[in-house]
Amino acid sequence: MIELGLFVTLLVVGFFAGSIVEKRHYASIRKREREYADVLAYAVRFPPDRVTRQRAFLVHGTVVISSDYFKTFVAGLRNLFGGRVRTYETLMERARREAMLRLKHDARRQGAKLVICVRFETTTISTGWAASIEVFAFGTALIPDQDSALSFPSRALAAA
């Protein structure tokens, strides 16, 4: 009976603690997405013809986010019965957005306002019950000439 009580306690604490951490992280992400809105990031391979670059260099952002006890338990149940594991979808979304913000931070730190050829690599890190994901975002940052326009007709990646 003690084991069941411990299990339920961990589940409840995991749910509430995980929810609080996730809400705070989303608030932080939204705030920083507004701050980095001036750094444009696109998946296109080539810059528009009107952008002549002075310098191009690699920028990246990486993040590892761990799942809480509640999400891991729910995902285990979902895997047992089959179906979509929605508890991990928010984990992936947070990781992708955080990696993009870190990529934009790297670009801005080096003086760039435009990143093209943005790609994401994802890795699952799991040992027993502990599950984490790593997202690595990378792209080519460009510092255009003063005469070049920094606008694309299509929507940027991770635009808020």
Q: Which of 28, 27, 37, 131 is nearest to 79 (CA)?
A: 131
21-38 confidence digits (pLDDT tens)? 889 999 999 999 999 999
CATH number for region 2-144 = 3.30.110.70
* Ramachandran category for residue 30: left, alpha or beta (phi over 0 → left; psi -120 to 50 → alpha): alpha
The neighbouring-strand residues paired with 115 are 41, 141
103-129 confidence digits (pLDDT tens)? 999 999 999 989 999 999 999 887 766
The neighbouring-strand residues paired with 137 are 61, 120
Instruction: Provide the residue ranges of all domains of the chain, joining segments of one domain with +.
Output: 2-144
Contact 52, 120 (CB under 8 A): no
Q: In which residue ranges of the chain is pLDDT below 50?
A: 153-154, 158-160
Read off the pTM: 0.80
Measured distance CA(20)–CA(70) in Å, rounded: 13
